[in-house]
Structure 1
Amino acid sequence: MSNTQQRIIPVATLVLCPEEIFNHNSVLNSLHIRSGSSVPFEMFPLDEFQIERYFSKFSKEAKETLARFNDADIAFEAGQLKKRHAREKSGMPLEKFLDKTLVRYLHELLHTLLHQHEDLRLYHRVKNPKTGNYLVARCDLHREVPVLWFTMYKKEDGGIYVQPMLQCAGKDYKLEDIRRYKFLVETESGHYHLMKSADYLALDWLQASQPEQFAQDQVLLSRRIVQKLEETHKVDRNDCFEKKEIGGQPVNCLYLSEISETMIMFTPRWKYEGLTVEGEWKAIHETNRNGEIYTINRDADAENSFIQELKALHPNFAKQTGKFFYLTFADAKKKQWFLKAYHKLLDQDVEIIGLEMLRHFRYSPFAAETVMSITRQEEEFVVLQLKVSFGKETLALNELQKLLLSGHNSILLKDNSIGILQDEWIEQYAAIVKHGKIAKQEITVAKWIMLSLKEGEAQEVMKPAISEAWLAKWALWQDEQAVVYPVPDIVQATLRPYQHKGFEWMALLSEIGAGACLADDMGLGKTLQTLSFIAWKHLQEPAARHIIVCPASLIYNWKQELEKFIPGMKATIYNGLQRNLDQFFKDEATVLICSYGTLRSDIEQLKIYPWSVAVIDESQNIKNVQAQITRAVGQLNTSARIALSGTPVMNNTFDLYAQLNFLLPGMFGGQEFFRKEYANPIDRDGDVDKIKALQQITAPFVLRRTKEQVATDLPAKTESVLWCEMGEEQMMVYNKIKHQIRDSIFLDIKAGGLERNKLNILQGILKLRQVCGSPALLPEKENTEEAVKIDILMEELVRLKQNKALVFSQFKGMLHLIADRCRKAGISYYHFDGDTPVAERAEMVAKFQSEEDKTTVFLISLKSGNAGLNLTAADYVFLVDPWWNTAVQQQAIDRTHRIGQTKSVFAYKMICKDTIEEKIIALQEKKQMLSDELISAEDGFVKNLSEDDVAYLFA
């Protein structure tokens, strides 16, 4: 037999096919190697024949495991998992459930085989990344398990990013430098390792969480990503995160605990701005609280002074270390030492912690008895006499207040027993004691606090502070169908039911001198509700004057809305050069509208006059207690206060303080009280009880309705104008270019006629519209970075938070400028324009539409995105530079307002005041040509212009 006729005997081995993990197929097959054959490699499934003939040296257990590496067995396992999914009804989509469980099944199989057969010789079949062809070569599957860890790093854009690392054989690998197939990683060419289940699942979670979207927001990145990883893995923060420094004078605390049943231990602690430290003194103490890193600069003198004071309390303490002190129960009670020391420490404002946790000190057999009565009323405040007793002992109110403010509900009585204030007592009286001003056994509180109390004894005692007639109307208002006050006839609008309730609520609170914060979602008609209230006050006091304070961009909105809904009421804009207070009174105008900046500048004049209603729109503008504008607003002399804001809390809970202090003077005490009682526990610790307490006490005075709550009352689509007023620098650029264009166009018209210069007119309009967006869009460099539209848009996007928004612009450059600001603000976004491939557009749209996707903003060029897209995940649309072809605008809006949309849609056209944009709107109304002629197209708009129209546009 010739050599060519000789039978070629194959050598069989195992071949690893890592890509099959993603397809849920077998990752091992039988590989036949035929030397000298024209087909050197051939791959077969692992069946009984292959295993018995070629892998007979494997142990019985290993062969049984090998037999499970075939597609039929895996398909059977998938069938069983489908049945399990149907039984358990976990809510997880079947595809996601199968991906998770089948990958785990393959991982367990490979892990088992690796430990059943020591000498596991393998080839692997992988794709050549350069050619796309598959290669077969020797490989090793190592038993050593790589260790997953993470490090943080900063990029040039200032963002912080997560870098997953694998440590294997003493070497660290970046994740992007290796190949990963779910749980299987190839660290070096042909060297494979099995990851732990927890590791590959952590990487899958990280990838799905898109940590890059939080790159510009340290707090969110730490809270949502880094802290989660730190729970299970080592994370090197690499000094990427800013550390908030805390220092100053600490609050001394003493923590009480028991040693067995015979000793009591006293541990000194210190609170620095609400963060507690204890133990041996170190100059700097670092702690992580809710994703933020705090560096506490400890005060050695203050801490040591407190330790010396404690050592002086008892002779035994002098011999002890100072880290903690201890006494026997007998020594603590001897000559009432514990009682005397307790009251001495309270007098020194030391917070005593842990009293209620002591189990072997005797508890008082008495429950707290409380007697409260109204002594007198002083304008908006009520003076109460309050007596709280345990048996024959009456508590001192100042000590009681200190205990409650430090978060404790127990007090040491004179007989050395511990009195416990039950939860029922806390619910009834704690808010009154905490928010009150103590003088001996009397406590002064704002009468409005009665509305926040739960039904019970305390509320019954407080009820006479407010008239029965008013309380009856307040109860009637709770009935959704009842009408407390009709909307004044001078209001030319029909209020929806929830809007009517909002107007009545303002009116009711004004009757008892309380302010109201209307915090409805954007687009629910806060302006109309407020104007209805002003109209109601006007009918009561026809000669009274009212003031509306708002951002400069909204002053014209207010005037237009007032003229639209209350045409008989005269309003005056008090802003810029239009600042003539004498003329306001001379004209007998009723409403003065001014910006926050103007109020700050002219407060000495404006605070003199007694305003009937003071409205502060976008009230988050006064969140900074120390800001001049906040102080100015607080000086307004007014009898009714209204705050409007869709987002009263922008950054943290303390944002509420200045707004509440304006609405309800004196009810929330001083800044430090509010910070310690509410802001710090809520923002730093996520204290659920404090959140509920603050919600309860503010609920009567803050009314918030979301779109979902009142969806049945909403139109399907609301379109509004978002007015923008340029700053001085941007307006100077606009006027300079306008003069250049005007002079050139009129010379051209004079020389060649109007018709021959329509293109020049169109180009001139386009250039001015670019300036309205941002002077940075112009090819020539202008000496300003002002861009009012971008500033206002960013304010709106930050305020929307979780809502999704579409942002359209005709100019690609404008989208890039907005994208840059979004990155700096930590707002995640998608972006496409005419240069974006169609496939990428579809991928972005699919992601944006996904419920799991957390990206909130989609930047789209108007022409690229005006048709063919379904973006119903969004419920807000911003047309940054509205096209005068309203059909195109409507198509853009209808990307989200279409079949499948379950939410109400709010669309905003951004228009610069006193520019060509505003004049074109005026021309539209004047000519009444809207979509038919004037705005059928950009060039169609120009075709319909007369010389007078051109003169008006460029005047």
Structure 2
Amino acid sequence: MSKPERQTALFLKPNRLRQRWSPVEAFYITKQARGVDFAREALDADVARKAFPAWPREAQECLAVLGDEALTQLVQQLTRTHAKQKAGTSLTAYIDRSFVRQVHQLFFQLLEQEVDFSWYHQTINPKTGNHLTISCKVMRQAPELRFKVDKTEAGLELIPLVKVETEFEFLSEFQREYFFLFRENSYWLLSMTDYQTLQWLAANDPAVYADDPAGFSEHVLKRLEPDYTIEMGAVLNKDIVEVEPTHAIYLSEISGSFLMLTPRWNYDGFWVEGEFKLTEEFNRNGQVYVVKRNRAAEQAFHDKLQSLHPNFAKQLNGVFNLPFAEAKKKHWFLKVYHRLLEENVELLGMELLRTFRYSPFPPETQCDIIKTIGSSLHIQFSLRFGGETIPLAELQKLLLAGVKSVLLKDHSIGVLTEEWLSRYSAIIKHGKIKGAELIVPQWILLGLKKEENSDSHESESTGDAATEGSYALRRAIAREWWEKWLHWQSAETALIPVPSIVKAVLRPYQQKGFEWISLLSEIDAGACLADDMGLGKTLQTICFLAHRQEAAGTDLRLSLIVCPATLMHNWRMELEKFAPTLRSYVYHGSSRDMEEFRSSGARVLITSYGTLRSDIETLQVVNWDAVVLDESHTIKNPSAQITRAVYQLKATARVALSGTPVMNNTFDLYAQLQFLVPGLFGQPEFFRKEYAHPIDRERNEEKVQALKQLTAPFVLRRTKQQVATDLPPKTESVMWCEMSPDQKTIYEETKSQIRDSIFLNIQQEGIGKSKLSILAGMQKLRQICAAPALLKDSGLVQADSVKIEVLMQELQHTLRSNKVLVFSQFKGMLHLIGKACQQAGLAYFHFDGETPPAKRAELVEQFQAPDNEVNIFLISLKAGNTGLTLTAADYVFLVDPWWNTAVQQQAVDRAYRIGQTKNVFAYQMICKDTIEEKIIELQERKRALSQTLVPDDESFIKQLTEDDLQYLFS
């Protein structure tokens, strides 16, 4: 009988990691006459020596520490460590993470051992379905992970790809157990980074952002981009960049012996170099940019560089170098340096050069105010290093290119220190150069960095930027104003009294806002009030207009308010409410008449952006005392017709109102600031290059802070959280809506038909028996106010809904980061709003009377969850007016208010109840000059007679008189 033949191997079973056991066991294959027997044994030191006696001791020890016994001790050690560290994560999460990391490291150490052995594993026999034990391979080379973004019917999709051999394949074609990737009989080990990334994706499903490209970019791509290649293809919209390049040279040193000049080209903020390609593609925070390179321009610049020195003619690899001695001979580099600056070539890398030594002289600066013309300061500015003065134009070019050093005539480098840059960089970049003069708007001085002891000197030329800045403010702006400005910043007491004609008591933050606008207007600077929705931007502005009028005495001062057409009536109503003597005139529609406005005695003209654009020739000839732009982000595009029209207006004071002055990107600010403080931010190209591109594309924090510092005096934003102590717990307001001509026509025609029918019924049968027709008629008119499409009449469907337009404006822009409840009595209205949300890319929850109770509870729980990112909840009024807690919301919209205010109040109180920690703002959306407005007025009349509210529709009808009906349908 033959002796059994025994072979020893390792058995791989990755799913043992789920129980925190070793994925590896000793494996014995015994061949006998009757067949083959398999046996497995947990690893420890004795088993490692017995199973692999020929292995070196180090390899046996490596195998032993990967056994069950050693890993059990590891778990015990991690438990003790967690207790000592008092780690913020749970014990289970801490052990799992640390355990997998340790096993991953040990497994790689095992693979690195110089020993021969075989691997086995267990798989499923595809023919029988039984377990099958066969040999397998474990590859030493880690696979490469990358991602692809695709667009499907469901939206954006993130597809992981992996390369295990020569080509990338879909990760879904492999199976994965922890960091083991396997297919058929082969295993690969993911790197720990790749494993953790895939775990993160499993826990944070990218599909949540399938319909939200911005969220997909921010929450998914931003997390992956630093570590992985991401194929975008044509999925996201590609911005084509096709501009003339700005030429630049990057200076560097090679081997401590050569000066290298590398040509680069700047295409609107995107840098390219090297071998020419027709296009270059860049991914900036999920947005893809395709730069079209200009071969002729790049070649011409290359040829120009090649002609600068005889040695360059032989250098054909696209870059140029010279020995240091050659670069200094006859001041070659110095001459070339100045020549290139004169030709607007940017020089990069100066501060990294070492052979061209640093100048021992610190920068000496002289900054003298020569004169003030209007709002512009004329400054004599000079910078010296030792005996050498740097030309002002050259200095500005260097700073705009981001260079922080200057090449001097003795070949040394003058360094512009961070302290010097913080003091002078902004005024030089933003100034206009005229010979030796630097001309800057006086307003820039408000945004310069404050320095200590800035009021300690009176000298006109001190060489100290802070002192000079303080002096310039005293020189260009009255000292009294500066004292008031400091008082406003630090004191709690009122600085400017509320005008006597204003019928309102301002909250402390509103008083501050009114004073701020007024103070800036005293130095001819505009103000952008960017408070959260509901904090009273309109009231603060009315106080400012009243203050201007009160200061004028008997002089006639005219003010212009420009706003979206849907807000014109709001302004008229607010002016009538808070400043009734400050009469207003709505200049809009076919009957608009400037002569009528002039003869009416009104002091405030209210118009829409569309009317302003059409009638700019009429409106630009008026010398307005103040121009107010409501929803000022409307002029975010400086080249748009409406923006150009706004710039033509003559105004002493300028105010912009917007809860979202930056809607899409930083450049949105430019046009608004150009209206408020003309010239402060130069031409659009300057603002884009200096601020917008670095901030939006590169997330450059230095530029963010620089822009914030300069704009802070002119943009005032307070959130609800910041002023919570000044707010009542619940603020209820009416949001007036002005119907379009088409919607208004439908309303008036329908009202006329209903009125004739109702009063004929009343005449024949009396009010009591006509209640159903009365309610039906009211319902029909209310539906038209909400959306004509609710009537399902083919002749009405085409008319737009002003309420959906106004609501979407708020949801898309002003309230994008707030939780909002939207109530409507009409299910069809909720569906129309939902459709508009889908078109705008806004996620929402929705339920009405047909939604099962269990589903309602599930939606409420999701909406209330702290990590929920769905901010909009559409709810039918009767289905959602009781029994719900929705305290995550802080804004409530009642789209179609009705007589029964108790039901409406119960709906509002879904958000305003125990557990609410935020201030709640509730808005009734009312169409002007409709039955909705009349119902509100009738409510007030009835409430004056009785403190009890009408509980239902039937009681409501019983209380109506024929006079009431005449009023409602008038």
TM superposition score normalised by structure 1: 0.86
- SS of 1:474's equivalent? helix
CA contact (8 A) 1:513 1:639 kept: yes
CA contact (8 A) 1:749 1:757 kept: yes
Specify the code of the residue in structure 2 equivalent to 1:214.
Y
Question: 1:595, CA displacement in angstroms?
Answer: 1.8
CA distance in 2, matches of 1:84, 1:839: 44
Equivalent runs, 1:56-135 vs 2, <5 Å: 77=75, 84-85=81-82, 87-92=84-89, 118-121=119-122
Structure 1 counterpart of 2:472:
462
CA contact (8 A) 1:85 1:97 kept: yes
1:245-283 C-alpha deviation (Å, 9 max, x unpaired): 111211111111111211100011111111111111111
Question: 1:742, CA displacement in angstroms?
Answer: 3.6
CA contact (8 A) 2:566 2:802 kept: no
Query: Is 2:354 the counterpart of 1:339?
Result: no
Structure 2 counterpart of 1:6:
none
Equivalent runs, 1:795-944 vs 2, <5 Å: 795-799=809-813, 800-928=815-943, 935-944=950-959
CA contact (8 A) 2:306 2:312 kept: yes
1:538-592 C-alpha deviation (Å, 9 max, x unpaired): 2111332222222222222222222222233222222225523223332322222
Unaligned runs of 5+ in 1: 1-13, 31-45, 125-134
Structure 2 counterpart of 1:779:
792
- SS of 1:814's equivalent? helix
Query: Is 2:502 the counterpart of 1:491?
Result: yes
CA distance in 2, matches of 1:744, 1:114: 91
Structure 1 counterpart of 2:728:
715
CA contact (8 A) 1:370 1:387 kept: yes
CA distance in 1, matches of 2:648, 2:539: 26
Question: 1:685, CA displacement in angstroms?
Answer: 1.2
Query: Is 2:287 the counterpart of 1:274?
Result: no
CA distance in 2, matches of 1:282, 1:93: 53
CA contact (8 A) 1:828 1:857 kept: yes
Structure 1 counterpart of 2:419:
424
Specify the code of the residue in structure 2 equivalent to 1:944.
Q
- SS of 1:308's equivalent? helix
Specify the code of the residue in structure 2 equivalent to 1:723.
W
1:648–1:200 distance in 2 versus 1, CA, 3 Å:
same
Structure 1 range deviating more: 614-623 or 878-887: 878-887
Query: Is 2:666 the counterpart of 1:669?
Result: no
Structure 1 counterpart of 2:575:
562
- Count of residue pairs brought into register by the alignment: 905
Identity %: 51
Structure 1 counterpart of 2:766:
753
Structure 1 counterpart of 2:3:
none
CA distance in 1, matches of 2:371, 2:232: 59
Question: 1:651, CA displacement in angstroms?
Answer: 0.8
Question: 1:90, CA displacement in angstroms?
Answer: 4.7
Unaligned runs of 5+ in 2: 1-10, 26-39, 54-59, 452-465
Specify the code of the residue in structure 2 equivalent to 1:300.
R
1:324–1:187 distance in 2 versus 1, CA, 3 Å:
closer
The partner residue of 2:316 within 296, 315, 321 is: 321
1:396–1:175 distance in 2 versus 1, CA, 3 Å:
closer
Structure 1 range deviating more: 452-461 or 143-152: 143-152
1:199–1:256 distance in 2 versus 1, CA, 3 Å:
closer
1:914–1:211 distance in 2 versus 1, CA, 3 Å:
farther
Structure 1 counterpart of 2:648:
635
Structure 2 counterpart of 1:623:
636
Structure 1 counterpart of 2:673:
660
Equivalent runs, 1:67-466 vs 2, <5 Å: 77=75, 84-85=81-82, 87-92=84-89, 118-121=119-122, 138=131, 150-156=147-153, 159-164=155-160, 198-199=193-194, 201-233=196-228, 235-321=230-316, 323-454=318-449, 455=451, 456-463=466-473, 464-466=475-477
The partner residue of 1:520 within 509, 531, 536 is: 531
CA distance in 1, matches of 2:92, 2:749: 61
1:768–1:197 distance in 2 versus 1, CA, 3 Å:
farther
The partner residue of 2:803 within 776, 786, 789 is: 789
1:781-809 C-alpha deviation (Å, 9 max, x unpaired): 34516222222222211222322222222
Structure 2 counterpart of 1:765:
778
CA contact (8 A) 1:66 1:113 kept: no
- SS of 2:915's equivalent? coil
Structure 2 counterpart of 1:7:
none
CA contact (8 A) 1:213 1:827 kept: no
Equivalent runs, 1:682-761 vs 2, <5 Å: 682-761=695-774
- SS of 2:490's equivalent? coil
CA contact (8 A) 1:256 1:266 kept: yes
1:206–1:268 distance in 2 versus 1, CA, 3 Å:
same
1:348–1:945 distance in 2 versus 1, CA, 3 Å:
same
CA contact (8 A) 1:144 1:168 kept: no
1:218-250 C-alpha deviation (Å, 9 max, x unpaired): 344234313433444554434312211111211
Question: 1:931, CA displacement in angstroms?
Answer: 10
Specify the code of the residue in structure 1 equivalent to 2:651.
T
- SS of 2:879's equivalent? coil
1:266–1:194 distance in 2 versus 1, CA, 3 Å:
closer
- SS of 2:646's equivalent? helix
CA distance in 1, matches of 2:927, 2:130: 67
1:315–1:594 distance in 2 versus 1, CA, 3 Å:
same
1:168–1:370 distance in 2 versus 1, CA, 3 Å:
closer
Structure 1 counterpart of 2:598:
585
CA contact (8 A) 1:265 1:325 kept: yes
1:917–1:104 distance in 2 versus 1, CA, 3 Å:
farther
- SS of 1:592's equivalent? strand
Structure 2 counterpart of 1:4:
none
1:168–1:403 distance in 2 versus 1, CA, 3 Å:
closer
- SS of 1:371's equivalent? strand
1:901–1:330 distance in 2 versus 1, CA, 3 Å:
same
Specify the code of the residue in structure 2 equivalent to 1:707.
K
- SS of 2:713's equivalent? helix
1:151–1:439 distance in 2 versus 1, CA, 3 Å:
closer
Question: 1:155, CA displacement in angstroms?
Answer: 2.8
CA distance in 2, matches of 1:931, 1:93: 60
CA distance in 2, matches of 1:838, 1:784: 35
1:27–1:364 distance in 2 versus 1, CA, 3 Å:
closer
- SS of 1:476's equivalent? helix
CA distance in 1, matches of 2:167, 2:434: 69
Question: 1:156, CA displacement in angstroms?
Answer: 3.6
CA contact (8 A) 2:20 2:99 kept: no
CA contact (8 A) 1:139 1:192 kept: no
1:505–1:64 distance in 2 versus 1, CA, 3 Å:
closer
Specify the code of the residue in structure 2 equivalent to 1:155.
T
1:831–1:533 distance in 2 versus 1, CA, 3 Å:
same
1:96–1:271 distance in 2 versus 1, CA, 3 Å:
same
Structure 1 range deviating more: 760-769 or 357-366: 760-769
TM superposition score normalised by structure 2: 0.85
CA distance in 2, matches of 1:884, 1:855: 31
